[in-house]
Structure 1
Amino acid sequence: MTTSVDLETHYTTRHDEASRLGSTLKGQLELARVRDLLERYLPEPPATVGDIGGGPGVHASWLKEKGYDVELLDPVQRHVEQAAAAGIDAIQGDARRLPWDNEHFDAVLLAGPMYHLPEAADRRLALREAVRVIKPGGFIAVIAINRAANLIGSMLANKLQQREKIVREILDSGFSPDNERMAETTYHTVTQLRTELTNAGLRAVTVHGLTGPGGWLTLTIDAHFKDQPLPATMSDPDPLQTALACTRIADNHPELVAVSSLFFAVGQRA
């Protein structure tokens, strides 16, 4: 993964990845859905799982609790230290040059490299490396960001005028050098993501809407009620459970994948 100053600064001084999946409704939805989908595809524990770009170890800690043997790699030293402090076997490294032997893992999760590698050639390297270190028949799961997410999010926040140039650049190419939201970030279409995994040699590639239509509910509530308790009229029923139910229903309708702000793609090594 890119180890530029921008990426290091983003995760060291601007963004607390350790709290992201628990501090907002959108993060809680993402976390619940990652667990939903991993449970669908992972082999039974004990099995070995590589968490590549695993950040501070939120997913790795959960997998370890379930009995998996997890090894984590991340380019940001702060994340490696946080993961190690949580009892995870963690090392600093690059998704394009993995330190493990061939066929080392039963499954691999790439929850960061696909959107933090703007160059297609770098994403190809990361996917080839993931294929190399997984055993035949093992699943590789990746998370990517929908190319349309900035357009929809800017519309819901009524901030399209301020971000129109960035939104247009992302829609056209998947990247904007002026994007202030996330460092070194690329955005995918469903077809592009499926093609990248297929071209890496993975079979039976499936793309899920990770946050699905429910993600826009959580995003809207987070934006309007940040650091404030929800009014009773919006807390019953629990909006997180509503968002989860909507997204799980949408999982049965592949045509709805494109409405999700995040994608979860899975392929199997032959």
Structure 2
Amino acid sequence: MSKIIPIVLALLLSACGSTSKDIDETKNWSPSKLYAEARDEMNTGNYERAIQHFEKLESRYPFGTYAQQAQMEIAYAHYRQGDQAQALAAVERFIKLHPDHPNVDYMYYLRGLINFNDRVSIFDVFSRQDPTERDPKAVREAFDAFKLLVERFPDSKYTPDARDRLAYLVNAMASYDVHVASYYYRRGAYVAAAARAQSAIKNYPGTPATEQALYIMMKSYEALNLPELRADAQRVLDLNYPNSTYYHGGPVKKEKPWWQVW
């Protein structure tokens, strides 16, 4: 009998310990306190705990401004945490549930930022990796998000920054196409090089990449023994860039990609 008592006591103590761990300290918090604590966690960089608090806030008080604010904060916390998939899912959920919310413009802006901040993994690699192996999907999605914001909410306080980022993204996409054209040219795929360079000029006219695209077209047509097309490309190049340095550096000059200075 004396051996049984310690075992029973141990089991009781174990049960008490597990129960104490399961106690939710936020159980009796008011929505304002729960929100304030979540914001404090966010401000200190504890995004995981902030998300937990915001999720409880939304769950316990599903109707009203606190729940809607919590949904936006959850999207932002995932974004700051670096969880792109969760952040985008939260943004899309909010837009779907609250298309007429007075702050829905911010969610369109955040959607653009989430994709925009993936640009380094897409474009900051040309010196190390074949550019045709990279997928510019995130950049195009960022462009679409910012474009939609500008079109739907021209007076939004986020629109001026969105316009600046759109200009950057247009240049980035044009530069990507020209790098691919340069890749094809270096490998002797002159038809593909000319076509990709022409696509960059057509889709992104007036961007800084246009000069190099014209030169790649000229040299590709020269390699293909198409003198008339070569002459046309050179005429346009000389007209728009009479002092082009590509005549001296070739179509694949080694220089720091301009987007890395953003």
TM-score w.r.t. the length of structure 2 is 0.29
Task: State which structure, 1 or 2, has the greater radius of gyration over its C-alpha atoms.
Answer: 2
Question: Whose RCO is larger (CA < 8 A, sep 6+)?
Answer: 1
TM-score w.r.t. the length of structure 1 is 0.28
- Please identify which structure carries the higher helix content: 2
- Please identify which structure carries the higher strand content: 1
